[in-house]
Structure 1
Amino acid sequence: MARKGRVVIAGAATGLLLVAFGKSFVAPTPAGAAVFPENIDIPSIDVDAPLMKLKLEKSGDLQLPPFDKPKMAGWYTGSAVPGDKGASVIVGHVDTKTAPAVFFKLRQIRKGALIKVERSDGKTAEYKVDSVEQIPKTDFPAKRVYVENGLKLVTCGGQFDYAKGEYVDNIIVYASPA
């Protein structure tokens, strides 16, 4: 949960990473690309959610799914399409002011769990969870998330800082093709 308009995922790190390493490390999807992910299914934690496209804001922060659609996750269009080579990043809220959101149970996922991402071309990309980490937002592993191969799922976690209106940590799931 966070105040509206405040980025709770380390989106600024994305912009800094692109500047520091150059855009060649991220596989941007051309505008209007024919293939994109449409749905994410994680049976072990009861997630079956539509995906929306997310871009970087002019500020360099990553857009987030709208809080009024808590059961929707988002795919960062500057990352690889799930099932293709490269880093693929999907983000979702852990909760809203009133209810759990799409990635509420993400911290409960275990190594080896299956993640399926349905694509617009009718294919389904399947991944198995390699690891899950909870890390302070101040130590967000931008290179590992946005550059290294595999699927990454990102949400908020840890303690909620009421003064800042956001969680202090991120929960990150790393997965490899199954």
Structure 2
Amino acid sequence: MADSTRWSRIVLAGVITGAVMVAFGNRGGDVKEKEKAPARTSIVPSRIDIPSLGIKAPLMKLGVTDGRVDLPPYEKPNVAGWVKDSAVPGDEGSAVILGHVDTKTAPAVFYKLKDMREGQVIKVVRSDGKVAQYRVDTIEQISKHRFPADKVYLEDGLRLITCGGDFDWDNHEYRDNLIVYATLVKT
């Protein structure tokens, strides 16, 4: 069962950590140093492929609205979303991709994520034609109250996030998040 309320804890952690990322990314310095910094490219991820789970899904950009990370629309359950303020998959930094586990009536794009295993491959196709290939390091199911924002948003690698655990019928949300941590092996 999916609704926007269940992501609120993820979103809040993401927004707080996003502010930390901005702070870490902009450490001051003089204007000349800032002028030397490379401009953000227009390269974006366009598709995620997880061969072992049979997942091939388009990616959309997710921004932040009113202090909350946007989510892929529930009307498009087979679409995942890349948090555009995170790294482009294949580049240095933390690349974060979110997807729904289900809808009110059916499984969604990351429904099978719970079956992911260490060592399996995740591929992200980019708009520049490159494919960033990752190897799964760990899978973590953790309470939304203990969301590991620093580990998700500040450490290098790919992060896939969806809901998991038991469904809390009173609050209409899952109690946990399922997070896949993966390391880049080649672009």
Considering the TM-score relative to the shorter chain, is it more than 0.5?
Answer: yes
Q: State the match for 2:62 in structure 1.
A: 54
Distance 2:182 2:10 in 1: 19
Letter in 1 for 2:10: A
Distance 1:77 1:154 in 2: 15
Matched, 1:126 2:133: yes
Structure 1 stretches of at least 4 aligned residues deviating more than 4 Å after TM superposition: none
Distance 1:7 1:163 in 2: 11
Comparing 98-107 and 5-14, the one that deviates more:
5-14
Backbone CA RMSD of aligned residues: 1.7
Aligned residue for 2:151, secondary structure, equals: helix
| Contact 1:25 1:147 survives alignment (8 Å) | no
Q: State the match for 1:101 in structure 2.
A: 108
Aligned residue for 1:64, secondary structure, equals: coil
Point out where structure 1 has 5 or more consecutive residues left out of the alignment: none
TM-aligned CA distance change 1:119 to 1:26, over 3 Å: farther
Letter in 1 for 2:140: E
Which residue, out of 66, 77, 97, partners 1:90?
A: 97
Aligned residue for 1:18, secondary structure, equals: helix
Normalised to the residue count of structure 2, the TM-score between the two structures is 0.87
Deviation at residue 2 of structure 1 after TM alignment: 2.6
Point out where structure 2 has 5 or more consecutive residues left out of the alignment: 27-38
Deviation at residue 107 of structure 1 after TM alignment: 1.0
Q: State the match for 1:147 in structure 2.
A: 154
| Contact 1:94 1:157 survives alignment (8 Å) | yes
| Contact 1:26 1:78 survives alignment (8 Å) | no
Matched, 1:171 2:171: no
TM-aligned CA distance change 1:162 to 1:76, over 3 Å: same
Which residue, out of 33, 44, 52, partners 1:44?
A: 52
Normalised to the residue count of structure 1, the TM-score between the two structures is 0.91
Identity between Structure 1 and Structure 2 (%): 52
| Contact 2:116 2:139 survives alignment (8 Å) | yes
What pairs with 1:4-43 in structure 2 (closer than 5 Å)?
5-8=4-7, 10-19=10-19, 21=20, 23-25=22-24, 33-43=41-51
Deviation at residue 22 of structure 1 after TM alignment: 5.0
| Contact 1:115 1:129 survives alignment (8 Å) | yes
